[in-house]
Amino acid sequence: MSVTDPRAVAARLYDLFDAGDVAALDHILSPDLVDHNPVPGSASGIDGMRMLVAAVREGFTGSRHELVYQGETDDGWVVSHWRMTAEHTGDWFGTPATERSVSFTGTDLVRVTDGKITEIRHVEELFQLHQQLTAA
């Protein structure tokens, strides 16, 4: 049974990040996904999201996303503010494993159409993360 409720589809994305389930992204992301701010050097679309989920899986153990707030607009956009906690146990975009616990936040705007995410705009508090990974 496929999930079509926009909030549930958006929340499922965080479950897949936490599980590191790259293959399951095909169930919730449109093949024509537009990522308005992809990771530098990656594709804007489903392949870029696959790369990002794999990077989280490789860089962190015990990744857990907690939804702090979620709302929906009348035209299919879902806003989600989240907090991710994990242990930094692998390489993260050139930063070797520190074995440190991390906690940082982000906000995503996703457009859900017919049960699939067709657009995403996301902002992660990477400065929070960077400070935790590099603090003396």
The CATH code for residues 6-134 is 3.10.450.50
pLDDT on residue 2: 59
For the record, the structure tokens of 38 come out as 């992809």
pLDDT on residue 42: 83
1: pLDDT strictly greater than 60:
no
CA distance 79 to 112: 11
CA distance 91 to 88: 8
CA distance 98 to 121: 29
pLDDT on residue 106: 97
SS3 assignment, position 126: helix
Half-sphere exposure of residue 48, counting CA atoms within 13 Å on the CB side? 19
Confidence of residue 98 (pLDDT cuts 50, 70, 90): very high
Write the single-letter amino acid at 96: P
CA distance 96 to 74: 43
Model pLDDT for residues 105-135, shown as the tens digit of each residue: 999 999 999 999 999 999 999 999 999 999 8
**What are the extents of the domains in the chain?**
6-134
Considering the entire predicted model, what is its pTM?
0.91
Model pLDDT for residues 14-32, shown as the tens digit of each residue: 999 999 999 999 999 999 9
Model pLDDT for residues 40-65, shown as the tens digit of each residue: 888 889 999 999 999 999 999 999 99
